[in-house]
Amino acid sequence: MIAIVTGATGDIGKEFIRKLYDEVDSIWAVGRSDEKLSGLAELYGDKIIKVKADLSDKEQILSLCRKIESEKPEIKYLVNNAGIARMAPVSEFSLEEISDMLDINDKAATLLCRASLPFMTEGSYILNVASASAFQPNPYIALYSASKAYLLSFTRSLNVENDGITCTAVCPGWVDTKMLPKKNNGKEIKYPGMVNADIVIDAAIKDARKGKDVSVCSFYYRYMRFLSKVMPHRLEMKLWVSGIKEYL
């Protein structure tokens, strides 16, 4: 029985591995850096199977899917966690950057779900790491936010389609990882409601076991989700932009 974790070398990925390590026989740790993957194997032990793949490259995503199809592992957990973000207006992104973000954040996760489903049985889990930014449109992280909204919607539908396999969209707010820059123009950036990765993963696993299709780990972001349902998004976007404008 295995777990597949993408973005395994990132802060949230490492925490998923730590939490799932004792539950499975091996973990396919998917990453693009040989060196970082070797570091993971040293850190956690010989259950770590290094799987090198750059998920911005369609051929490498498909080759990972083919590996699943040919090895036919019994998959207990699929954790689609790899993701990238950048705060800037869409007009400042190159076409290649946009394409990479959509491939890593959405295409890879979607194809891996499809490739893994035949090898999952009742009691298996798909955890797709989305974000609280999926709850509303967010100018200046428009691409990231929209990519996570896709993942949230896709995961919830997948959960209904697949009896016995729980599919959970993990939607944290700010998490203290290397994804978040600490300073902007020499000014310390404030991240309201920021939590550590272990809180996100504990809640995600707990919520998945309860059969929930969405996991939001803190009261603060559950409240933000509630607001996104009752407040006009036009107003929410105004508030968001006024909160981040000093960093633009």
Ligand X SMILES: NC(=O)c1ccc[n+]([C@@H]2O[C@H](COP(=O)([O-])OP(=O)(O)OC[C@H]3O[C@@H](n4cnc5c(N)ncnc54)[C@H](OP(=O)(O)O)[C@@H]3O)[C@@H](O)[C@H]2O)c1
What is the x/- site pattern for ligand X, positions 122-151, by CB under 6 A? -------x-x--------------------
| C-alpha atoms less than 13 angstroms from C-alpha of 102 in its C-beta half-sphere | 10
Packing angle between helix 11-20 and helix 34-44, nearest 10 degrees?
30
Q: What's the min distance (Å) between Cβ of 35 and ligand X?
A: 9
Q: What's the min distance (Å) between Cβ of 109 and ligand X?
A: 9
Q: Is 48 in the site for ligand X (CB under 6 A)?
A: no
End-to-end alpha-carbon separation of the chain, Å? 46
Q: What's the min distance (Å) between Cβ of 57 and ligand X?
A: 7
Binders of ligand X among 68-107, rule CB under 6 A? 81-85, 104
Alpha-carbon span 212 to 109, nearest angstrom = 19
Q: Is 54 in the site for ligand X (CB under 6 A)?
A: yes
β-bridge pairing 48-52 and 26-31: parallel
Packing angle between helix 95-102 and helix 142-161, nearest 10 degrees?
20
Q: Is 32 in the site for ligand X (CB under 6 A)?
A: yes
- The answer to whether 208 touches 168, Cβ cutoff 8 Å, is yes
Options 3, 51, 55, 127; binder of ligand X; rule CB under 6 A? 55
- The answer to whether residue 150 is catalytic is no
Q: Which is nearer to ligand X, 10 or 73 (CB)?
A: 10
Buried b (16+ CB within 10 A) or exposed e, 222-231: eebbeeeeee
Binders of ligand X among 172-201, rule CB under 6 A? 172, 174-175, 177-180
Question: Interface with ligand X by CB under 6 A: which range of 31-39, 90-98, 216-224, 226-234?
Answer: 31-39
Query: 123: exposed, middle or buried (C-beta count within 10 Å: 0-12, 13-18, 19+)?
Result: exposed
The residues annotated as belonging to the active site are 144
| Contacts with ligand X, residue ranges (CB under 6 A) | 7, 9-13, 31-33, 36, 54-56, 81-85, 104, 129, 131, 172, 174-175, 177-180
